[in-house]
């Protein structure tokens, strides 16, 4: 159910339609982007979803690789959803579709050709390719989706076909930028369509909902073409094998590495399934040469190492990706030697610093030279700095600004910039806050439940369901399992069996923790009145509590404790 905030205005109730913005992910964090735009009367709105992305698990979510936005609000409104529009094919913008779309009652999905090709490859892996109504739309398309007049505007980013979205209603228009930057030579897609953005500003724009990732940085982002020049020089000068790791989705970077390898007379070897998937999609849509010469990783054993460039997945330290396995000397086909070079042609996403550091330290221990963007211009961001934001505001002249796509400090820096640029209505939204864009002034009018869903193996589970929380406890304090055998009357028929995991063998006085737990279990049963021993649930809980307390008293930590009770 939707939670009402008693402290916010409900001016639009009963007075006709309004146009609202509602983020369920991506506002207050980087990643897991999912945005809703609604039009209609309160309680009878139709909704357009823009993007449906994931983020990745960290050390605080043991066993969880992928995290998705909680869409309970959308599930309740699913019969009012008119479509899902994808701005581009980065995982944090489209990676949740395969898991969450089945919950949405056949909602059509709209995507440009490259994004659609990437989505089809993912859908084929899970058997959904024939069931999802995927509508492929051209770049710059304009069409009606439900009550919305939707137009795509070409933008520059670190992947082909990024699009901003103009969402028009009878009340007015909003521009949702998606991920973007200003780059005159992005190497794959066309540059940002400045002329169309200027024309939009002349038409009149009610609200700009805009990327905040680099709002804390002055100046403008460098061009993708600059990275290509650096990579060509480094790959030419490398004394031995050179490996390059980058975001698999960065088709321009893949092409730059391939061109640099060719210019240096080296053979390109592609390492990592995700990289193959992107190359396949880019070739199918014309962003890479169908005859791009490269080898599979098994070719490394038969090619001269000094003439090789290995293009690898794993720039974010992912434990199962190629670079981490290579650094741990666990990769079956790729081995690095002292004097080889590894170029990190990427930035470290916030939260991945430790994982990336571990891989880079392991490479250093192997006497492999690691080159990052601190050593040479081997990466440029796909997001706008303050100078680019100022240019966009000058072009589109919004009446209201709603910063999105960023952590709190990025959003606040963007909000202050918008205010300095003279935007009168600046709304500081967060995930779950519903912003009424029109009729103005733009303001927060409601809030809805938000949260996270974990993909735990093949199972989707909400973050508050418990098992990940219990794993976290296990990582700090281990577990104790106690097996009891009782008669129907509650008589203990055998000495309790105890299994310890992640707990010291003995306390400071040398007493085994297994003995401490066993004695606590026996003492608890003997202390219970005989009639209560027949209540097996009561016995189990009493033993669980007493064993946990006894171990805590001797160790100073409270383990996860479970009791297995058999009645004979």
Tokens of 439: 């009729």
If DSSP codes are grouped into helix, strand and coil, which group holds residue 556? coil
Pairing of strands 55-56, 443-447: unpaired
Name the band, by pLDDT with cuts 50, 70 and 90, for residue 24: very high
Higher pLDDT, 433 or 319: 433
Range of the domain at 523: 466-567
Residues 288 and 144 occupy one common structural domain = no
User: 505 falls in which pLDDT band (50, 70, 90)?
Assistant: very high
Domain end residue (candidates: 309, 340, 371): 371
Are 329 and 411 members of one domain?
no
pLDDT of residue 14: 40
The tens digit of pLDDT for each residue in 195-227 reads: 999 999 999 999 999 999 999 999 999 999 999
Q: To the nearest whole percent, how much of the chain has pLDDT over 90? A: 79
Q: Is the pLDDT of residue 59 over 70?
A: no
d(C-alpha 72, C-alpha 121), whole Å: 27
The span from the CA of 28 to the CA of 447, in Å, is 15
If asked whether residues 47 and 60 sit together in one domain, one would say yes
Residue 12 — very low, low, confident or very high, per pLDDT cuts 50/70/90?
Answer: very low
pLDDT at 209: 98
Is pLDDT of 6 > 80?
no
Instruction: Kindly write down the DSSP assignment for every residue of 112-161, as one continuous string.
Output: -HHHHHHHHHHHHHHT-TTTS-EEE--TT-EEEETTEEEEEEE-B-SSS-
Residues 412, 518 within the same domain: no
What average pLDDT score do residues 504-519 get? 93
- Whether the pLDDT of residue 273 is over 80: the answer is yes
- For residue 158, tell me if it sits in a domain: yes
Does residue 376 belong to any structural domain of this protein?
Answer: no
Q: How many domains, the chain? A: 3
**Of the candidates 42, 36, 100, the residue with the CA atom closest to the CA atom of residue 66:** 100
> Looking at residues 269-293, what average pLDDT do you find?
93
In this predicted structure, what is the pLDDT of residue 83?
Answer: 97
Q: Residue 9 — pLDDT band, cuts 50, 70, 90?
A: very low
| Same domain (yes/no): 485, 423 | no
CATH of the domain at 518: 3.10.20.580
41 lies in the same domain as 153: yes
Strands 109-111 and 55-56: unpaired
Do 248 and 263 lie in one domain? The reply is yes
What residues does 344 pair with on adjacent strands? 245
Same domain, 249 and 273: yes
In a domain, 330, yes or no: yes
- Tell me the CATH number at 250: 3.40.50.10710
Residue where a domain terminates, one of 434, 458, 482: 458
- For residue 64, the model assigns a pLDDT of 78
Cα 221 to Cα 104: distance, rounded to the nearest angstrom:
38
Helix (H) / strand (E) containing 47: strand 46-52
Res 454 pLDDT > 70: yes
For residue 140, pLDDT over 70 is answered with: yes
Tell me whether residue 169 is in a domain.
Answer: yes
491 and 540 fall within a common domain: yes
Residues 67 and 145 in one domain: yes
Average pLDDT score, the chain: 92
- Give which of 153, 158, 210, 145 is closest to 188, Cα–Cα: 158
Instruction: Give the tens place of pLDDT for each residue, 329-374.
Output: 999 999 999 999 999 999 998 778 999 999 999 999 999 999 999 9
DSSP state of 26: S
Query: What number of CA atoms fall less than 13 Å from residue 335's CA on the CB side?
Result: 7
| pLDDT at res. 361 | 98
d(CA 118, CA 114) in angstroms, rounded, equals 6
Higher pLDDT: 367 or 488? It is 367
**CATH code, domain with 194:** 3.60.15.10
Q: How confident is the model at residue 464 (pLDDT cuts 50, 70, 90)?
A: confident
**CB under 8 Å to 402, separation ≥6 — which residues?**
21, 207, 208, 209, 210, 426, 427, 429, 435, 437, 442
> Residue 131: its pLDDT value, please?
83
Place of tokens 């390719």: 129
Is residue 1 pLDDT above 90, yes or no? Answer: no
Residue 412 lies in a domain: yes
Pair 335, 239 in one domain: yes
User: pLDDT confidence of 91, banded at 50, 70, 90?
Assistant: very high
Q: What 3-state class would DSSP assign to 331?
A: coil
What's the chain's Rg over C-alpha atoms?
28
For residues 257 and 352, state if they share a domain: yes
**Cα–Cα distance measured from residue 167 to residue 188, given in angstroms and rounded to the nearest whole number:** 26
Q: What is the pLDDT of residue 15?
A: 61
Average the pLDDT over 250-258 and give the result.
Answer: 96
Q: How many CB atoms lie within 10 A of CB 476?
A: 11
Does residue 450 sit within a domain? yes
Residue 240 lies in a domain: yes
Predicted pLDDT of residue 190: 86
Q: Where is the domain boundary, 458, 482, 516?
A: 458
Q: What is the per-residue pLDDT for 13?
A: 40
**pLDDT tens sequence across 403-450:** 999 999 999 999 999 999 999 999 999 999 999 999 989 999 999 999
Q: Is residue 322 situated within a structural domain?
A: yes
């Amino acid at each position: 159910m939707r939670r009402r905030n008693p402290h916010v205005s409900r001016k639009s109730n009963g007075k006709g339609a309004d146009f609202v913005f509602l983020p369920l992910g991506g506002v207050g964090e980087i990643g897991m982007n999912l945005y809703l735009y609604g039009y209609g009367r309160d309680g009878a709105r139709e909704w357009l979803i823009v993007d449906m992305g994931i983020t990745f698990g960290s050390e605080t979510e043991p066993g969880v690789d992928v995290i998705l936005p909680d869409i309970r609000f959308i599930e309740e409104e699913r019969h009012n959803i008119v479509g899902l529009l994808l701005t581009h094919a980065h995982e944090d913008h489209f990676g949740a579709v395969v898991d969450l779309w089945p919950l949405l009652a056949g909602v059509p999905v709209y995507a440009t050709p490259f994004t659609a090709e990437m989505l089809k490859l993912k859908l084929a892996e899970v058997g959904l390719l024939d069931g999802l109504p995927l509508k492929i739309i051209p770049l710059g398309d304009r069409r009606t989706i439900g009550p919305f007049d939707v137009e795509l505007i070409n933008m520059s980013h670190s992947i082909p076909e990024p699009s901003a979205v103009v969402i028009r209603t009878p009340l007015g228009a909003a521009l949702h930028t998606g991920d973007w930057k200003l780059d005159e030579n992005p190497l794959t897609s066309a540059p940002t369509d400045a002329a169309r953005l200027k024309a939009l500003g002349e038409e009149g724009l009610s609200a700009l909902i805009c990327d905040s990732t680099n709002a804390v940085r002055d100046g403008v982002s460098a061009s993708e073409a600059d990275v290509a020049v650096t990579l060509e020089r480094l790959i030419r000068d490398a004394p031995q094998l050179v490996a390059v790791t980058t975001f698999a989705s960065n088709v321009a970077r893949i092409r730059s590495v391939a061109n640099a390898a060719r210019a240096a007379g080296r053979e390109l070897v592609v390492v990592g399934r995700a990289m193959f998937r992107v190359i396949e999609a880019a070739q199918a849509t014309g962003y890479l040469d169908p005859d791009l010469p490269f080898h599979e990783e098994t070719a490394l054993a038969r090619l001269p190492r000094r003439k090789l460039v290995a293009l690898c997945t794993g720039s974010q330290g992912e434990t199962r990706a190629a670079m981490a396995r290579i650094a741990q000397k666990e990769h079956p086909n790729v081995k690095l030697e002292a004097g080889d070079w590894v170029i990190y042609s990427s930035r470290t996403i916030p939260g991945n610093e430790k994982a990336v550091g571990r891989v880079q330290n392991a490479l250093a221990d192997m006497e492999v030279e690691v080159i990052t963007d601190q050593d040479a211009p081997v990466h440029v961001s796909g997001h706008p700095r303050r100078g680019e934001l100022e240019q966009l505001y000058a072009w589109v002249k919004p009446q209201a600004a709603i910063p999105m796509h960023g952590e709190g400090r990025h959003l606040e820096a963007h909000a202050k910039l918008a205010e300095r640029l003279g935007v009168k209505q600046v709304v500081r939204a967060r995930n779950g806050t519903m912003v009424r864009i029109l009729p103005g002034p733009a303001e927060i009018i409601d809030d809805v439940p938000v949260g996270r869903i974990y993909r735990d193996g093949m199972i989707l589970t909400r973050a508050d369901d418990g098992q990940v929380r219990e794993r976290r406890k296990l990582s700090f304090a281990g577990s104790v399992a106690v097996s009891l055998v009782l008669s129907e009357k509650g008589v203990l028929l055998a000495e309790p069996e105890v299994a310890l995991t992640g707990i010291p063998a003995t306390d400071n006085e040398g007493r085994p923790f297994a003995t401490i737990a066993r004695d606590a279990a026996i003492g608890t049963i003997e202390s219970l009145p005989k009639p209560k021993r027949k209540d097996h649930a009561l016995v189990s809980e009493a033993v669980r509590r007493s064993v946990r307390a006894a171990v805590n008293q001797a160790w100073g930590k409270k383990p996860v404790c479970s009791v297995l009770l058999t009645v004979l």
